[in-house]
Structure 1
Amino acid sequence: MTLAPAAAQAGTYVFEEAEFVSPTSIAFETAAPPTGEATQQILDGAESVQSLIETSSGDYTGVEVTDTGLAVTLPDGLDIQARAAEADAVTTAQIRFRHGDRSRAQMYDVKNQIEDMIDAGLHRGTLRGVGADPSRGVAIVYLSELDSVALRTELKTRFGSAVVFREMPEMKTLTEERSRDSAPHYAGAGVRLWNDPHTGERGRCSTSFAVALSGSRYQLTAGHCLPGGTNYPDLWAATFTSATKPAAEYYFGTKHTTTFGGELGAPTQGSAHKYGDWALINGSTYSPRVYNCPVGTGYCSSLPVGGASYGTPAVGTQVCTSGLTTGQTCRQFVTDPDWHGVVQGVVLSHITVVQHATTSGYWDCQGVRPGDSGGAVYQGMGNGSVRAMGIISFGDGCISGYTRLSGVRAWNNGVSVVTAG
């Protein structure tokens, strides 16, 4: 979308109207393709503006990342110029402003009502999830294409222009050379899940960031890789398949805590509806680095972890993922910063949805694959290090979801990502 510049004119900012959302249409929309890659200045600016918005949710609607700057949407009001100036003051990135129909708080009131429907098990199989597009101030409702007309009509009648619809197939978790990582272990490594006697294994996952809690160090992975009742709680480097244990340096540890209940292949709710899809492992040593090589065996380069984001990213934010199957994959853009929905019968929260785009700006299906579950999600910081963002949770190659670090912090505010230096 072309936006009016926000350059101050005689002490005022110029606004354009936000994109029109029909109060009656029940048609499915698709996510708008990215405008291009943003600079580090823009990405850092989005973090600052997003922090302001989250602490003043009645005064702002949202922020969107574009290749030329930031687009900030605000609800109308007598003090709109002052609010625009406050947003302009927290970043050096260029900002363009838009009028919005509702505030972030009002948007989340609608989103929360639909979350309640999901948590109650209503329309299971048809209603996949709900997210948000803060750049427009709308809740995004994800549904199956079949048998959803009546529900879309009901939701439009109830919420009008505050909701839009996107089709979503049934999502699956991604359980399935990074595969030979030795201690201290890095994010983006591949692990194989073994039983305690080391006589049987059940699939492969990936690792995410090292975290500290109460003086101890742990490593993150996906909760669905280590459900509470699993008989395969021990993680070893993925390359080893023999019942003879490899050297101890290839041991990643065992399940410490998890948000999933049930067993592998038969998960139950646990606490994923509160905290997202993650687990902590302990029993080895963990380093604040992440593998950043393409998929393949042999030597793999890595980058230091220089910081972490515990908030919600802006629409259009670019992230990279690092996992066993697809290696480092960048050019993934946030299309829904805050999704809440059902994956294989389990309700998840603290999820951000991303899609991969070509250099020509078209969506493709080059996202995460089976085996990447639990892997790292991050973005560059412009100084050779990366900012930790979350843990890979699900996907089908075309649409992917990751659990934000906000979910881990919601469980225990004392958790922090370990950083280098």
Structure 2
Amino acid sequence: MHNITKRTLLGSVSLAALGSLAMGAPAQGSDSKPVPKPVTKVDTSVLAKEAAARVTTPANARAAQQHVQAAIASYVAKHGTKYSFGSYLDAKTGSVVVLSDAPAAVLSKLTDTSGDRAAAGATVRTSTSTITDQWNRKDDVAPFYGGGGIAASGGICSSGYAVNYGTARYMVTAGHCFANGTLVKTESGANDYGYVAWRRLASLGHGPKDMEIIYNKSYSPRIFTGGLWSTSSAAVVGAGDAVQGYTNYCHSGRTTGENCGHTAVDVNAQVCTQTGCKSPVVAFNGGTLSQGGDSGSPFYVKSGTQAWIRGHVIAGNGGTMSWAEKWGKVASTYGVTIATS
């Protein structure tokens, strides 16, 4: 349980009435927990640093990546999800890297780009690794923050970030977490978190995506920061897609807490797990990476107590590489905007 100082109840604060989904969900009501004061000045200096870190990749390497990703997606569509695959383009070496637990013979065929003239001269490296959806902070109260533990039907994930859809506000998380219509609770089980809708998942035929929304409660444009039992948070002040090469992205989930120092190795990566192939996604490494239960947690760039959303965590291989769904895909899929403080 969080300490009462997490967001001490100081009085009644009225929240604007929020709309409902077309599926007939009830409108959100008001809460008695105070909302932190709106941010009056946004420090954008970190965005210039992020943009300056952008790296470019050779055309033949990008062509090789596209060739390999298409081959992997086709293989998974035909043979199922017995094996896992994660691929990205390492801009520092110009090599396409494929992490997988598939047999060498399978990988050899999938990574053969010899017949692709556009990929001539490109290098493809493989490494043995098992990649999984990251199932598995703890006792939030409304209005709910991103980065908290959420649970239903035996599964545990992390909340992501709040979005606006017209006058309604929802919370985003990973699509492999819960089925449509599921009542989600806080990890402690003490509070209802809302219902799942608009699930988009590759294995369900929704294209290479991994996202869903939670509705019917109030959700704050803030994300938890600090450790597993931290009461601290950052104000969300914007959103956009990650920049390849930037070296200080963060994630904040119920399993590993907040961790920064992540490098966006590739922003056109692919990851294929037991819930299908998702792309383009962000492949990131460096620092303490996400673990089981961090799925859905926000992936962001931070400056002081302000955060810019770049997506949400969807997969990892247990310590050397993780993958995040891109904010741009969420925005275009749902027609939403980021909720800001």
Given the two structures, how large is their TM-score scaled by the length of structure 1? 0.62
Whether the aligned pair in 2 keeps the contact of 1:43 and 1:317 (CA below 8 Å) is: no
What letter corresponds to residue 271 of structure 1 in structure 2? H
What letter corresponds to residue 376 of structure 1 in structure 2? P
Indicate the SS of the match to 2:121.
helix
2:320 equivalent to 1:387: no
Cα gap change, 1:394 to 1:161, in 2 (>3 Å): same
Aligned positions of 1:88-237 closer than 5 A: 101-102=58-59, 107-121=61-75, 128-134=85-91, 139-144=96-101, 146-148=103-105, 150-151=108-109, 154-156=112-114, 158=116, 159-176=119-136, 178-193=137-152, 201-228=153-180, 233-237=182-186
- The C-alpha deviation readout for 1:310-335, integer Å capped at 9, x for no partner, is x3421243211111111111122222
Whether the aligned pair in 2 keeps the contact of 1:107 and 1:162 (CA below 8 Å) is: yes
5+ residue gaps, structure 1: 1-39, 50-64, 74-99, 194-200, 241-245, 262-267, 358-365
Higher relative contact order (CA 8 A, sep 6+): 2
Indicate the SS of the match to 1:372.
coil
What letter corresponds to residue 386 of structure 1 in structure 2? A
Distance (Å, rounded) in 2 between the aligned partners of 1:258 and 1:107: 33
2:248 equivalent to 1:289: no
For 1:11, the equivalent position in structure 2 comes to none
2:208 equivalent to 1:251: no
Match of 1:44 among 38, 42, 48: 48
* Greater Cα offset, 327-336 or 120-129: 120-129
Match of 1:411 among 318, 322, 333: 333
Cα gap change, 1:238 to 1:272, in 2 (>3 Å): farther
Whether the aligned pair in 1 keeps the contact of 2:133 and 2:292 (CA below 8 Å) is: yes
Cα gap change, 1:138 to 1:320, in 2 (>3 Å): same
**What percentage of aligned pairs have identical amino acids?**
23
Which of structures 1 and 2 has the bigger CA Rg?
1
- The C-alpha deviation readout for 1:180-214, integer Å capped at 9, x for no partner, is 10100000011111xxxxxxx41211100000113
Match of 2:289 among 367, 391, 396: 367
Indicate the SS of the match to 1:219.
strand
5+ residue gaps, structure 2: 1-43
Distance (Å, rounded) in 2 between the aligned partners of 1:222 and 1:129: 17
2:320 equivalent to 1:398: yes
Indicate the SS of the match to 2:129.
coil
Distance (Å, rounded) in 2 between the aligned partners of 1:419 and 1:153: 42
Aligned residues: CA RMSD = 2.8
Given the two structures, how large is their TM-score scaled by the length of structure 2? 0.75
For 1:279, the equivalent position in structure 2 comes to 212
For 2:245, the equivalent position in structure 1 comes to 315
The number of aligned residues is 291
2:197 equivalent to 1:270: no
